[in-house]
Structure 1
């Protein structure tokens, strides 16, 4: 049997040889260091057999993310054992590795809280020091069902039953010491190979993500190869906590969530100032690119959502009502409404491309367990647009959208943008030929731009290009999208009259730049920590009169700056100037303007900038020009 190594060289092995056999054939040192083997896109247990022509890579502690994946997967099992030791009678759900760590879902006989973390971590460390081997075994699904039933593990029984429905006849189990878990692996050789582990937080999670199932306790944790790496990660997490948009949004009075509307954000005046600035920035691009802005109804007949396919593919995420005995749906997306706008008039090939933009307020039912500030809400505004064009216009339209996103994100401080092409999902509408044509058109439009591939991650109606930005902490965020759709024009019978006087179907491009205004704002808050540039700051300057006798002059400073279009307030409280300066710094006001006897007499202002410290004492008119220019240049 021949397999191939990363450098392209061929390695000859006996038939049925395993990943461990391959590592041993390369060298004893590699066999000793090996923890798993990567074959293509899969990371596998070393004990599994290889096959003719496999391209493989041995995973060792020097393998970066692959090693961390295996190590964290193993750490999840160790944490589960520790939890069952600290809280006897705890039942086990799922425990996978995730980005930057891992989690495990538990059903404990008593509440499991962060107060238990110290005892659990101590037990994890005892298990690590024991250097207990991870031992893999295989059972038939019938034997596994009986085994976990006898142990009283209902969630493991449910997993075995699901695997049986999927056609599996065998399952693998892993044991360390007396702890046994249903798992496909892979794992490190023994618990001594684990790096330091830190428990992070507790959350609720429904079994299999359904509100109809029991709610479990999810414990998040992480692990690294060294304490230095773990400490660096914890420091990054602390920075992220300080920038958490929910915390900053509360502290800066930007938005609010209420128990009367879980998942439905309330924007406060300061928050709406930023929302309006984002919206204005989008509208500038719409004007530049000759979009026509439309508005479609929030609620439309359920028959429309039958035509669009949403009732078939998206119904569980929709809200419904009844009007005159007929079912209506609150729109989860704007695109069917845009189709109705298009077909309300006849169109010629000369009319295309038609670009319709809409700031559409949409509603989607999200499980309560996944709601997360502005990142995951049940109502949000999409800066949506739908372009109807001829096939020969697709490339130019998509490239114009790609250029637009580059300009827009740079304006908000996102300089690193990655493109991801998502292809046909398992549940998709339309013919394979439609999808092949749409995917080929997007690839052609991307040309020589660099992009990643997300197989099977397209929308149910068409392939898409997603835009991913990286913030100041190096975290990636999914924002805008550009989706190519041959399907909706067919479903809605959209046509235009061609040059030879026949009817042709337009191509429909769905695009959003922010993705949603709410999510974009949340990401922007965390990227800046609430320290917004002047053009976005809800309060751009604050006047601080030294005493009551300077109140009238402070008011005149405010009015002078407001007449230049600036957002300025006066803090005339009886607190000391030092206290009010400190409060202004905490509120992240870009400019604090102190006025006293000298300033009042000279008609000037003592300027204290958040970035750069003291800025001298310009006159009111001079300061108005300076700040207005800075705001205009930034925006």
Structure 2
């Protein structure tokens, strides 16, 4: 055994330490203040306990304010929560408690001490647990690690009545030791690492909710109670997170969708949208906008909804994606399975548009002079999602992709990816999204195509990624997602940030050398030889239903005037103004606005409140005086103020505001030329 270890520090310096030196020893050798702040070390990038003896490598001292410490804070909070639960309700069994995005959870099995029946936790229990957690944290008990034999661990947990822990231990191979972490007298089976003591967790945590969860995720196993919590390094971070959650709840597109009467779901059509008039108007506004953005550069096509499974076998989807597809036969084939004349073939509802677009490209001979060929489709696709994963417009089984496929030469590939990038960023900007991140997802473990093809595709996309960042002047952030590419090619993923700071992954650009090869697609090059095209898959909204859900939440239902399903309501104060109110509504409709009228015999404040709930952006109020002067009072959603102007001024102002941003640019360009 070596008598010393060699450690490289972040500044590049190298120091030797005696064998057996721990992370805490290293921190103390630098400064006492650093040792007090330290919660862990990172050895060659991997987090380790401060008390661990160190081997040769690159070392960093991790303090509580280091972003990497957040996972440790949450991990330790989970252990403290489990201890608190068992102190409050002795006999409760602890199962599994991992760190998750923004927090942690633990699953428990609690039975009533008198009836011995299941006794699930409720939200009312959470404040008691939080209080007990703060008491435990205040004690500042050290986290210590012990290594036990498998047999010892099994016996100890069995003696404690921890049947679920015994089952976990039994899953570990015989003869293999395991780690036990203690905090005071409480302990649990855990891989670690942990911080030095419970006090380092702090008090910036909150228990969020309880839910049912089957043991090991198996519906045939016992039901447990899962308690979710969140934990942060600082109280301000916790407050911000809770604020975002509260805002997200207020902005929930399902709630706003009901208030605006946009759509609904029902059990007879799980995961598919029943669009109401106003919701469908929004959908068509989005479709029309996207069609205008593609005009002149893409051919809009439409491929069949149902295709023989052989086509999906050729594409690879049947093998790679079958569990997410819907397969169908004719009703006659089901009722007469032995009828030799009946079509017994298996068909699939398309989960994506790409194989159909390859067929359209292949129909008729293509020359290099025709390239690139850009095919776009607003294609309805169906994908099976587990019922528990369905979530309003955000996760459905039937949705419309604003899908396109560009067939180009390999030399054109980079330019086409940049052209797509410019279009995607421009669309997001029109909807008010300024912060966008573009990441390159590289080859996954399970994939089709040779490494040579993947090398070529990834090399081009890496260069394109650099260009995207350079051309944006650093405004667009970029990154790499190793192993996250599609099975047929690498891809760019576009993630946008909404009004309350949440990230939404929407657009994609995917380079594919494989699908054209599988389907034998080709064009004739300048040497009169067959050449395989590159196929670029691209989507901007992705799922148009989901994009609408994102827009509803981003704007909290207060849609820009050009995108609102009802842009103006004309409401009268008195019946004497009804005729004039109708003239106002007709004039606004003639100017192209979506207008409703409210001439009911109700007080004007009641009308305003009602239309504010349905998020109408503009309410025009007309009374007897306005009728005589041919003026209107304009009240904006969310404002108590009214602006008076002539009818002509109102029409001019509102019709310009209701002009979509792409059409405004076109009008401005024409005016500049004139």
TM-score, reference length from structure 2: 0.87
User: d(CA) in 1 for partners of 2:360 and 2:220?
Assistant: 39
Supply the distance in 2 between the matched residues of 1:88 and 1:292 (Cα, whole angstroms): 68
Can you list the C-alpha shifts for 1:503-529, whole angstroms capped at 9, x where unaligned? Answer: 111111111101211221122122111
Deviation at 1:386, TM superposition (A): 0.9
Task: Find the partner of 1:488 among 515, 521, 543.
Answer: 515
What are the residue-to-residue correspondences of 1:210-289 with 2, within 5 Å? 216-288=224-296
SS at 1:605 equivalent:
strand
Partner of 2:326: 319
Report if aligned partners of 1:382, 1:515 keep a CA contact under 8 Å in 2.
Answer: yes
Change (3 A) 1:332 1:594: same
Partner of 1:263: helix, strand, or coil? coil
Q: Distance in 2 between matches of 1:151 and 1:176?
A: 17
Residues 163-217 of structure 1, C-alpha deviations (whole Å, 9 max, x = no match): 75xx995543323345433322222222222222211123455556666766654
Tell me, yes or no, if the aligned pair for 1:205 and 1:369 is still in contact at 8 Å: no
Q: 1:401 and 1:40 mapped to 2: Cα distance?
A: 39
**Contact (CA 8 Å) 2:325, 2:349: kept in 1 or not?**
yes
**Residue 199, structure 1, aligned to residue 201, structure 2:** no
> Match of 1:83?
85
Q: Which residue number corresponds to residue 59 of structure 1?
A: 62
The 1:442–1:27 alpha-carbon spacing in structure 2 relative to 1, beyond 3 Å, is same
Distance in 1 between the 2:543 and 2:488 partners?
Answer: 20
C-alpha contact (below 8 Å) 2:65/2:233 kept by paired residues: no
What is the CA deviation profile of residues 308-330 of structure 1, one whole-angstrom value per residue up to 9, with x for unaligned ones? 22232222222222343222222
For 2:508 and 2:158, the matched residues in 1 are separated by 46
Q: Secondary structure at the match of 1:618?
A: strand
- 2:11 is paired with a residue whose SS is coil
How far apart are the structure 2 equivalents of 1:107 and 1:328? Answer: 46
SS at match of 2:181: strand
| Structure 2 residue 76 is the aligned partner of structure 1 residue 74 | yes
Aligned mates of 2:166, 2:186 — CA distance in 1: 16
Shift of 1:150: 6.6
Report the CA distance shift for 1:136/1:506 in structure 2 as closer, same or farther (over 3 A). same
Specify the alignment match of 2:114 in structure 1: none
Instruction: Work out the number of aligned pairs and report it.
Output: 630
1:354 to 356, 373, 383: 373
Aligned residues of 1:127 and 1:191 also touching (Cα < 8 A): yes
State whether residues 122 and 210 of structure 2, in contact with CA within 8 Å, keep that contact through their aligned partners in structure 1: yes
1:7 corresponds to which of 2, 8, 11: 11
Distance (whole Å) between structure 1 residues aligned to residue 389 and residue 519 of structure 2: 33
The whole-number CA distance in structure 2 between the counterparts of 1:17 and 1:266 is: 65
Aligned-residue offset at 1:220: 2.3
Q: Which residue of structure 2 lines up, in the alignment, with residue 302 of structure 1?
A: 309
Match of 2:140 among 123, 126, 131: 131
SS class of match (1:465): strand
For the pair 1:399 / 2:418, whether they are aligned, the reply is: yes
- Counterpart in 1 of 2:549? 522
Q: Which residue of 1 aligns with 2:105?
A: 103
Residue 355 of structure 2 aligns with which residue? 336
Structure 2 CA distance for partners of 1:208 and 1:263, relative to 1, 3 Å? farther
Residue 13 of structure 1: how far off its partner (Å): 2.5
Q: 1: distance between equivalents of 2:645 and 2:68?
A: 58
Matched, 1:537 2:544: no
Q: Which SS does the other structure have where 1:326 is aligned?
A: coil
Cα separation, 2, equivalents of 1:205 and 1:370:
15
Question: How far 1:90 moved relative to its partner?
Answer: 4.7
Taking the aligned partners of 1:182 and 1:415, their CA distance within structure 2 comes to 46
**1:565-584, Cα deviation, whole Å (9 max, x unpaired):** 10111123333111211222
Post-superposition Cα deviations, 1:415-449, rounded to whole Å, max 9, x if no partner, equal 01111111111222222222111111111222343
2:474 match: none
Spell out the pairing of 1:606-617 with structure 2 (5 A cutoff). Answer: 606-610=633-637, 614=641, 616-617=643-644
Matched position secondary structure for 2:380: strand
Larger radius of gyration between Structure 1 and Structure 2: 2
Against the structure 1 CA distance between its residues 404 and 163, is the aligned structure 2 distance closer, same or farther, given a 3 Å change threshold?
farther
Asked whether 1:586 is paired with 2:617, we answer no
Seen in structure 2, the aligned counterparts of structure 1 residues 154 and 448 have a Cα distance that, compared at 3 Å, is farther
**Distance in 2 (alpha carbons) for counterparts of 1:41 and 1:526:** 38
C-alpha change, 1:396 and 1:168, in structure 2 (3 Å) is: farther
1:29 matches 2:38: no
Cα distance in 1 for partners of 2:587, 2:159 equals: 79
Task: Give the deviation of 1:624 after TM superposition.
Answer: 1.9
SS at match of 2:570: strand
Other structure's SS at 2:508 match: strand
Structure 1 residues 45 and 605, CA gap change in structure 2 (3 angstroms): same
Residues 339-398 of structure 1 show CA distances to partners (whole Å, capped at 9, x for unaligned) of 222223322212211111111222222223333222222222111111111100001000
User: In 1, are the aligned partners of 2:612 and 2:638 still within 8 Å (CA)?
Assistant: no
Q: Secondary structure in 2 aligned to 1:449?
A: helix
Match of 2:335 in 1: none
Equivalent pair of 1:365/1:378 in contact (CA under 8 Å): yes
User: Gaps spanning 5+ residues in structure 1: where?
Assistant: none
Could you tell me whether the CA contact under 8 Å between 1:542 and 1:569 is conserved in 2? Answer: yes
Counterpart Cα distance in 1 of 2:527 and 2:298: 27
1:43 matches 2:51? no
1:10–1:286 distance in 2 versus 1, CA, 3 Å? same
CA contact (8 A) 1:301 1:326 kept: yes
Separation (CA, whole Å) in 2 of partners of 1:468 and 1:16:
46
184, 188, 191: which is aligned to 1:184? 191
Cα distance between partner residues in 1 of 2:146 and 2:524? 66
Contact 1:533/1:634 (<8 A) preserved: no
Whether the aligned pair in 2 keeps the contact of 1:561 and 1:620 (CA below 8 Å) is: no
Q: Structure 1 residues 82-91 or 515-524, which shifts more?
A: 82-91
Alignment correspondent of 1:368: 387
How far off its partner does 1:92 sit?
A: 4.3
Q: 1:531 to 1:36 in 2, by over 3 A?
A: same
Distance 2:270 2:172 in 1: 35
Secondary structure in 2 aligned to 1:632? coil
Q: Which residue of 1 aligns with 2:475?
A: none
Instruction: Output the CA distance in 2 between the equivalents of 1:500 and 1:631.
Output: 52
Preserved contact between residue 560 and residue 621 of structure 1 (Cα < 8 Å): no
Shift of 1:158: 6.2
**Quick one: distance in 1 between partners of 2:86 and 2:383?**
38
Rounded to whole Å, the distance in 2 between the matches of 1:156 and 1:310 is: 40
